[in-house]
């Protein structure tokens, strides 16, 4: 079974037919002009305040830590690339063999997180140190469960009085609305010249409910799926005529 690299325009048509919303794309390139064969996914960098502040969650909802967010997001990106960009070999970089490379990666990560730009010289130097054609740098802007602000205020008034009737608010019940967040942006950098070839963001925020299963993992997957929907080097099956 043969695979081909789909141009971005074809991806857009496929998404429109499926009714899916694509990512917010800032930069993209023509796959016909350049295509990575092997890329490295750097461990994501998180913004200050990326993890919602701790609060009292209902039973079954667990807050996440920053290391957990970084590990989960990095793994999800590698898996998304594996399933979507089957012509591109990708792997997650979990450790550096040299402290100089680690410092350079931290600087590149931080610049992308803070400014959504990259200094080509630093980006090129990092690519040379990694020894791959391209690498993915990622910023986590929001990740984890949080309680709706209005619900937090309601939960404080356990003995709230409405007219002449005292209403008891059960803080562990369905009155407390919990939302799961996964807001990430990522850029693919060409090692040869430090150029950003693709830069996209995805924001998912879904409410936990009794009628459907929504977890932090499912919301993260939805965010990565949205990013991959706009990945220029997607591999798709060729069209087959009906018989």
In contact, 101 and 126? CB cutoff 8 Å: yes
Half-sphere exposure for 97 (CA within 13 Å, toward CB): 3
Q: Using alpha carbons only, give the angle 145, 15, 80 rounded to the nearest 5 degrees.
A: 50
The angle, 0 to 180 degrees and rounded to 10, between the axes of the packed helices 120-130 and 99-115 is: 140
pLDDT in tens, 95-152: 787 889 999 999 999 999 999 999 999 999 999 999 999 999 999 999 999 997 655 5
How many angstroms separate the CA atoms of 186 and 22, rounded?
14
**What structural domains and CATH numbers belong to the chain?**
4-14+21-148+178-236 (3.40.50.10610)
- pLDDT value of residue 97: 75
How many angstroms separate the CA atoms of 179 and 207, rounded?
4
How far from each other are the two terminal CA atoms of the chain, in whole angstroms? Answer: 18
In angstroms and rounded to an integer, the radius of gyration of the C-alpha atoms of the chain is 21
- pLDDT value of residue 237: 53
Q: Which of 175, 177, 148 is nearest to 160 (CA)?
A: 175
- pLDDT value of residue 158: 46
pTM above 0.85, yes or no: no
Query: For the purposes of burial, counting CB atoms within 10 Å of the CB of 24, is it exposed (0-12), middle (13-18) or buried (19 or more)?
Result: middle
Per-residue pLDDT of the chain (243 residues; tens, 9 = 90+): 333 333 333 333 333 333 346 799 999 988 889 999 999 999 999 998 999 987 788 888 999 999 999 999 999 999 999 999 888 899 998 778 788 999 999 999 999 999 999 999 999 999 999 999 999 999 999 999 999 765 555 544 444 444 433 333 444 434 678 999 999 999 999 999 999 999 999 999 999 876 678 999 999 999 999 999 999 998 765 555 554
Contacts of 206 (CB under 8 A, 6+ apart): 179, 180, 214, 218, 219, 222
In contact, 151 and 175? CB cutoff 8 Å: yes
In contact, 178 and 216? CB cutoff 8 Å: no
Task: Give the DSSP letter of residue 35.
Answer: -
């Amino acid at each position: 079974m043969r695979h081909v690299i789909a141009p971005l325009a074809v991806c857009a048509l496929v998404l429109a037919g499926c009714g899916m919303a694509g990512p917010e794309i800032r930069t993209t390139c023509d796959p016909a002009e350049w295509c990575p064969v092997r890329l490295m996914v750097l461990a994501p960098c998180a913004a200050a305040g990326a993890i919602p502040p701790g609060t009292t969650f209902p039973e079954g909802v667990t807050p996440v830590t920053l290391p957990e967010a970084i590990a989960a997001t990095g793994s999800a990106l590698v898996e998304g690339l594996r399933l979507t960009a089957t012509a591109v070999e990708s792997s997650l970089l979990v450790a550096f063999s040299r402290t100089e490379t680690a410092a350079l990666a931290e600087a590149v990560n931080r610049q992308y997180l803070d400014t959504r730009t990259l200094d080509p010289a630093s980006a090129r130097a990092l690519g040379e140190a990694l020894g791959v054609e391209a690498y993915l740098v990622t910023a986590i802007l929001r990740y984890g469960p949080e309680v709706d602000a209005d619900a937090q205020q309601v939960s404080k008034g356990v003995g709230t009085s409405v007219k002449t009737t005292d209403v008891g608010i059960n803080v562990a019940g369905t009155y407390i609305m919990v939302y799961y967040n996964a807001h990430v942006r990522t850029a693919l950098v060409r090692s040869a010249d430090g150029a950003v070839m693709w830069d996209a963001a995805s924001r998912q925020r879904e409410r936990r409910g009794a009628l459907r299963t929504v977890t932090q993992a499912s919301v993260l997957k939805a965010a990565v799926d949205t990013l991959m929907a706009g990945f220029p080097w997607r591999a798709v099956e060729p069209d087959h005529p009906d018989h």
